[in-house]
Structure 1
Amino acid sequence: MPAHPLPAPADVSLLELLDLEPVGRDGFRAPTVFDERYPLYGGQVAAQALLAAARTVPDGRPPHSMHGYFLRSGDTARPTLLRVERDRDGRSFSTRRVVAEQAGEVVFSLSASFQTPEDGLDQQVDPVPDVAAPEESEPFEPPRLLGFEGRQPPQPNGGRLPTRFWARCTEALPDDDLMHAAVLTYLSDIMTGLLPLMTEGYEPSASLDHALWFHRPARIDRWMLMDLVGRSTGGGRGWYTGSLSTPDGVLRASIAQESLFRRRRRGPRAATG
């Protein structure tokens, strides 16, 4: 047990949560902990791992993609150790792997790639969903997130479960593309596109893997529309994709995630994973 009571989530800032301490050449420690009855939030450890990887990359190379696996249930009351492997530094790209550990066990692993910005043909095929502006939408509090506010426009096909919503960070963030990418990563795991596919007692639960592509720079302290779409269920798993777009209709990032999707059991909830 800790020597002193742990702070509540409301007493921790998002920037404190994402602050990392160096441990040797390629190790980092996320020391900020708090008392919460839920397991470690996946977006938190994914954002911390992305920041750890970026700390070992040459300056001027923001992330363009990341792929992570959630391996064990983590604990918000424990610090997380992040170990980085330097896979490659090329002329334009750098690739890193990160292992996140708590109490000697791996809870999350990440592969991330970083690129020196360059000019190229800028195209966007699909239009952003036509939804009510944030100012015209109902207040919506994204669950568990520190330092965020949300708005919920009418849902697709009249659905009641939020798979499409506006969100923005309310904390003062530095003018740094990497930090905005990390905070976007923190947001990206908060909801699931599988909610409309629940039927016959089947429901989504633990996230299995999570992928994120950063297409264009994004300011996450401004409104961002998150639109999640369920694509497939089977074999005890469900898969969905998502987009993160700004009010000007520009796609900033894309998501793909697979989660457990099993029939709800009666009695005490069984362990997942």
Structure 2
Amino acid sequence: MTATESRRTQPTLRDLLELERIDRDLFRACTVFEEDYALFGGQVAAQALLAAGRTVPDDRAPHSLHGYYLRGGHASRPTVFQVHRDRDGRSFTARRVVAIQDGEVIFNMAASFAVPQDGPDTSVDPLPEAPDPDTLSGAPVPRVFGFEGRTVRAHPGARSYPVRYWTRCTEPLPEDPLVHASALTYISDMFGAFPPVDGGVPGPSLDHAIWFHRPVRADEWMLIDLVPRSAAGGRNWYTGTLHDRTGRHVASLTQECLFRAPRS
């Protein structure tokens, strides 16, 4: 999709997850569109994970990622992703990714991929209490493409920051675990868990981490549950879990954001 075409029509999630391979370890996200805000963090993180995964053997799926948001990007400009091959072991593969716009790094990520292994399968965190998503009223998720959400519980006084909600991609995704992990990464950065407290208000994301415990389909219902943990030093930190509709704990996340009084 060209810049002109993308201004006429809204992109889909699958458009955003289409990367052009420029060289062996160099990729470019060419879907652009006009937006009044900085580039959505979930988008650049999902694309970075996808770029890393395109350099990994097919028998390995992502099991964790750790990313840092360094500068605000622009949705109206292409992003280039440089992948560094840190290690290819017998069971694990490690990659680093740098996302670049206009010659400056806007985001970097370390991601690890693993060969599926047999072993104990247990989970301490049960599915949080939540009505079936089919019994809740639906609504589009703001600022993201291709996802719908159904809020279960919101923070008092902070309706724009639900802390427990069902979500799913509304378009069918291919049978590729990397694509589903990237889609989960995309939506995982959508909402924070902190309401305004003592004059502080949530701000941009600083860093984000996800652990993928079990395979997941992002085009089926996932329950995201976010828990505020700490606010200090101009930052807030929260953790979260993702369960599928059957109650399987599929992923965990943690994120830190700016948390300051608004500038007068």
The Cα shift of 1:259 comes to 0.5
Structure 2: gaps of 5 or more residues: none
Q: Give yes or no for the alignment of 1:169 onto 2:169.
A: yes
Of the three residues 239, 243, 246, the one matched with 2:244 is 246
Aligned to 2:43: 44
Find the residue that maps to 2:119 and give its secondary structure: coil
Find the residue that maps to 2:6 and give its secondary structure: coil
The Cα shift of 1:15 comes to 0.8
8 Å contact kept, 1:138–1:153: no
Under a length normalisation based on structure 2, what TM-score does the superposition of the two structures give? 0.95
- Distance of 1:33 and 1:77 partners within structure 2: 5
Mapping for residues 114-153 of structure 1, pairs under 5 Å:
114-153=113-152
- Distance of 1:77 and 1:6 partners within structure 2: 12
1:4–1:186: structure 2 CA closer, same or farther, 3 Å change rule?
Answer: closer
Find the residue that maps to 2:181 and give its secondary structure: helix
Q: Give yes or no for the alignment of 1:204 onto 2:189.
A: no
The Cα shift of 1:8 comes to 3.9
**Code of the aligned partner of 2:181:** A
Mapping for residues 1-273 of structure 1, pairs under 5 Å:
5=4, 7-8=6-7, 11-155=10-154, 160=159, 161-195=161-195, 198-266=196-264
Structure 1: gaps of 5 or more residues: 267-273
Cα deviation code 1:200-248 (max 9, x no counterpart): 3211101000000000000010000111111000000000001111121
- Distance of 1:83 and 1:109 partners within structure 2: 10
- Distance of 1:169 and 1:134 partners within structure 2: 14
Identity %: 55
**Code of the aligned partner of 2:204:** A
- Distance of 1:158 and 1:248 partners within structure 2: 31
The Cα shift of 1:9 comes to 8.6
- Distance of 2:8 and 2:263 partners within structure 1: 30
The Cα shift of 1:143 comes to 1.2
**Code of the aligned partner of 1:206:** P
Higher strand share: 2
1:152–1:191: structure 2 CA closer, same or farther, 3 Å change rule?
Answer: same
1:174–1:225: structure 2 CA closer, same or farther, 3 Å change rule?
Answer: same
- Distance of 1:224 and 1:69 partners within structure 2: 25
- Distance of 1:15 and 1:35 partners within structure 2: 18
8 Å contact kept, 1:9–1:35: no
8 Å contact kept, 1:207–1:258: yes
- Distance of 1:9 and 1:100 partners within structure 2: 26
8 Å contact kept, 2:3–2:31: no
The Cα shift of 1:140 comes to 3.1
Q: How many residues align?
A: 262
Find the residue that maps to 2:138 and give its secondary structure: strand
The Cα shift of 1:145 comes to 1.0
The Cα shift of 1:14 comes to 1.1
Find the residue that maps to 2:183 and give its secondary structure: helix
- Distance of 2:64 and 2:18 partners within structure 1: 21
